[in-house]
Amino acid sequence: MTITTPNGFTLDPSGKRVVIDPVTRIEGHLRLEVNVDSANVIRNAVSVGTMWRGLEMILKDRDPRDAWAFTQRICGVCTGTHALTSVRAVEAALGIPIPENANTIRNIMQATLYTHDHLVHFYHLHALDWVDVLSALKADPNATSALARSLSSWPLSSPGYFKDLQLRLTRFVESGQLGPFKNGYWGHPAYKLPPEANLMAVAHYLEALTFQKEIVKIHTVFGGKNPHPNWLVGGVPSAINVDSVGAVGAVNMERLDLVSSIIDRAIEFIEQVYIPDLLAVASFYKDWAQWGGGLAGRNLLCYGDFPEKANDYGADNLAFPRGAIIDGNLNEIHQVSLDDPDQIREFVTHSWYKYPDEGKGLHPYDGITEPNFVLGPATEGKKTDIRRIDEGAKYSYLKAPRWRGHAMEVGPLARWVMGYAQGRPDYKEPTDAVLKKLGVPVGALFSTLGRTAARGLECQWSAHKLKGYFNKLMATLKAGDFATANADKWEPASWPRAARGSGFSEAPRGALGHWVQIADGRIANYQCVVPTTWNGSPRDPQGNIGAYEAALLGTPMADPSRPLEILRTIHSFDPCLACSTHIMGPDGQEKAVVRVL
């Protein structure tokens, strides 16, 4: 029995059911259930957010000037993006313009976050889906050195270097503490890299782990501390005093020099290690240019980010593109507005929430977050131990956001395709170069491989933008402009009695929006629609499936009890469930379970 969804996918839930819970490597709780046919090809997919998110309730009646600090704590990995989005929403509500330097420093903070987050994602959250750590133990260090030197001029490439590393890795594995490698499907037939490429990649995994700490020092310089840097409604909290030496709190020349050197080293690492690794790995996995596309070739959404000039959030002033692409028509970019009540709406027909009328979606300004955990009649198992979910009923703690009724993909691939479709040279040229190098057509972008490649290109792009924003800051400081904050409307007495506004950003994993309503100086309503809610969305009242669900269809699995192929595609979205959802069930136990029913 097959079903054709309004957004054009064919689902067949009749075959064997494979259940994976949870899927994410770090924070978050995502469960996936898929049906495979007799050839183990995925024919139906169900994405289940198993945690309930109650941020809206936490923020009610708080001081809107503190909202950034709360939203920064909902997620371990996109802290700064939430804080940035929050201060933008409050500034929009209260009509607070920020100084030019504040905008530049926010861009520096955001570009730093991108550079760091994408690097860590590739090496520490996604690489092991492609790299077999145990195979690296069999590599020949001399051949590994030759391979590394053929790809890049990165100096850490001698046979001795790889031999030492291999010894360390062998001892680590023999000690029985597989640590970060313990959940891998080592030896899985879908791993294709030769042992030498695996050893090189493991070496770079460790180098990236050591290097990533340098990048976040930039957050410490401008945000006062890291983790959890400080933000400020009306600007940035970093006072600048270029004449001081080692003063506590102020940004001085010594610290600016440090920032400059970190940026240069980050660019070097990305261009000599990350990008060559990405291309080398991709060249062994070209078959992944045909799987994992899902909504990518059809519906893409970007809010845009990086305002080049302060206080202008229009599409033309944003270095990250803004727009919507529908039905794969790259020739028409639709305008996107967070405030238009007809554009973004969230549905709960298949979500564990209650609306007065569930046939209709609600714009976030009118958003309601009232949990309602009920299971459909076809559910198998108990409430605390669900064996098979009933996707015909409510089945996820994620709501289903839609743009003009369409399910959308958000994230690096959406941004790169949007920039490419808009003909922006800083997107088009590097993308064409990668396609040419791999010998694949433009259509290959709409895939798991394309998503992972877009993230790499974006990491390189953001490191260069970071350098540009830093140079811009230095130029304005040189010209004597030290303003970093606007305190004119700091006092609630200067605010209107009632106000509302939206703030947007692009988190590394996709479009992020906050909507705030303020009454008598306090938060009356606060709604966040986060990227993983778009990508991990369940079905909507019309039966349109979400991005994860669509992306898994058609993927062949070598062994359904070891679902490496599912991890590859889902991790390519960089899911981040902590801020989308909250834990389910009274026992709160988290176990990685794969069941084939």
Total residue count of the chain as it appears in this document: 597
Least separation, in Å, of the C-beta of 234 and other proteins?
Answer: 14
CA distance 544 to 533: 14
DSSP 8-state code for residue 584: -
393 DSSP assignment = S
Indicate whether 160 belongs to the interface with other proteins (CB under 8 A).
Answer: no
Contact with other proteins (CB under 8 A) among 43, 82, 204, 582: 582
Which phi and psi angles does 182 have, rounded to 5°?
Answer: -75, -20
> Quick one: DSSP state of residue 24?
-
Binding mask 230-249 for other proteins (x = CB under 8 A): x-------------------
Q: Which of 68, 274, 403, 469 binds other proteins (CB under 8 A)?
A: 68
Of positions 5, 37, 41, 62, contacts other proteins by CB under 8 A? 62
63 binds other proteins (CB under 8 A): yes
The contacts of residue 176 (CB under 8 Å, 6+ apart) are: none
> Which residue from 48, 109, 147, 216 is in contact with other proteins, where contact means CB under 8 A?
216
Query: Does the protein bind other proteins through residue 180 (CB under 8 A)?
Result: yes
DSSP string across 159-213: HHHHHHHHHHHHHHHHTT--GGGTT--TT-TT----HHHHHHHHHHHHHHHHHHH
Backbone torsions φ then ψ of 527, nearest 5 degrees: -130, 135
Total residues contacting other proteins by CB under 8 A comes to 49
- Among 1, 155, 210, 425, which residue interacts with other proteins (rule: CB under 8 A)? 210
The dihedrals phi and psi of 312, each to the nearest 5 degrees, come to -115, 105
Q: Which residue from 575, 430, 580 is spatially nearest to 509, judged by alpha carbons? A: 575
Binds other proteins by CB under 8 A, chosen from 18, 92, 96, 120: 120
- With vertex at residue 331, the alpha carbon angle to CA 344 and CA 401, rounded to the nearest 5 degrees, is 15
Smallest distance, Å, CB 278 to other proteins?
20
Q: Quick one: 330 or 524, whose CB is closer to other proteins?
A: 524
Which of 2, 4, 8, 60 contacts other proteins by CB under 8 A?
60
58 scored as a contact of other proteins (CB under 8 A): yes
From residue 15 to residue 54, the character string flagging contacts with other proteins as x (rule: CB under 8 A) and all else as - is: -----------xxx-----------------------xxx
Residue 76 interacts with other proteins (CB under 8 A): yes or no: yes
Interface with other proteins, residue 588, by CB under 8 A? yes
- Closest contact distance (angstroms) between CB of 177 and other proteins is 5
Angle (nearest 5°) at CA 361 between 356 and 363:
105
Q: What is the CA radius of gyration of the chain?
A: 24
Q: Which is nearer to other proteins, 121 or 451 (CB)?
A: 121
Stretch that binds other proteins, among 191-199, 226-234, 316-324, 329-337 (CB under 8 A): 226-234
Residues whose CB is less than 8 angstroms from the CB of residue 250 and which lie 6 or more positions away in sequence, other chains included? 238, 239, 240, 241, 244
Query: In whole angstroms, how close is the CB of 74 to other proteins at the nearest point?
Result: 6
* CB 562, CB 555: distance < 8 Å: no
Q: Under the criterion CB under 8 A, does residue 516 sit at the interface with other proteins?
A: no
Sequence-separated (6 or more) residues with CB below 8 Å from residue 400: 346, 347, 348, 349, 350, 351, 407, 537, 538, 539, 540, 546
Closest to other proteins by CB, 7 vs 72, is 72
Residues engaged in binding other proteins (CB under 8 A): 26-28, 52-55, 57-58, 60-63, 65-66, 68-70, 73-77, 79, 120, 124, 168-169, 172, 177-180, 206, 209-210, 212-213, 216, 227-228, 230, 522, 578, 582-583, 588-590
